[in-house]
Amino acid sequence: MTVEAYVRQLKRLFRLRPLAICITPQVVEAFLRQEGFTDIRYVDVTEPDNIPGMIPHMIAHGAVDFGRSFVPDMVIGMDAGAPITVLAGLHSGCFELLGREGIHRIADLKGRTVGTAVEADRHLLIILTRLVGLDPDKDIRWILSPSPMELFQEGKIDAFLALPPILQEVRERHIGYTVASPISEHPWSDYFCCLLAASTEFTRRYPVATKRVLRAYLKTLDLCASDPNGAAHLWVDHGITTRYDYALQMLNETRYDIWRDYDPEDSVRFYALRLHEAGLVKSSPQTLIARHTDWRFLNELKREMKT
């Protein structure tokens, strides 16, 4: 099939929530066009994405062909049987758990109220709390709110998970104290926090197009790692954020340079095991990996894109 024929098969890409500035298809677009794609469409998420496994859910229902999300979000979607195929890991830690004075570690959350913006964030925090011996169902009161930072400032919650650009804002305004930072702390920094997945049908029917999309994402990761200043300007130019300083801080902290070295299967296995232990997924990690991952495209590109 010709490149032009494959171009016609790329229908939609997932667009991140307006507040998210980790890595967006809009920034990847220049590389997608270099790969020959001309009809690139984005899907805005206008409703609160509180469905467990939101991105796999969107892929399963044909809303998008490719999507990026937290590993727990992907794993929950896999376990639910969503027809998705994980292609690669994107980067490690871009978030922090923040608390009020007196909360110095995750164990101090016992008996406290914790706020999350979306259900996927709560699943991530359930893993963090279980690893230190807390029972997230009995020891923590959870509040789901689109604006946990506001609840924190009002004294209605004791801790919350902050993602870019909220993370950069709370630092600038000196709101709260860092309780846990997967950006630099083990074991979280040893794994990808976000994965790229595609419709299983799309990867099977259009393998060349799938590889081209993945290559565009990997080139974007290289750009973020090698030229964070230039990448930050792209974030601003595309209207993803108005704050160049926020984007640059995020780009300098987030590990975009690990896609060649880290094993995304290890990340799926790590989070899937934690979610299985928490009773949030029924399938074993190995079953999920066997049914919902395909590393062939990534391995080929690692060989082709050696630096």
Asked whether the whole model's pTM tops 0.85, one would answer yes
Q: Tell me, what's the pLDDT at 18?
A: 35
What's the distance, CA 80 to chain centroid? Answer: 19
Give the residue with greater pLDDT, 186 vs 5: 186
CB proximity list for 33: less than 8 A, separation 6 or greater? 40
pLDDT at 15 over 80: no
| Distance between CA atoms of residues 92 and 192, nearest Å | 4
pLDDT in tens, 199-246: 999 999 889 889 999 999 999 999 999 999 998 998 888 877 888 998
- Per DSSP, what are the bridge partners of residue 162? 96
| Distance between CA atoms of residues 104 and 108, nearest Å | 7
pLDDT at 52 over 60: no
pLDDT at 101 over 80: yes
Could you give the domains of the chain?
3-92+191-304 (3.40.190.10), 96-182 (3.40.190.10)
- Tokens, residue 58: 């969107």
Q: How far is CA 69 from CA 49, 188, 270, 307, in A?
A: 11, 16, 16, 27
| Distance between CA atoms of residues 244 and 204, nearest Å | 39
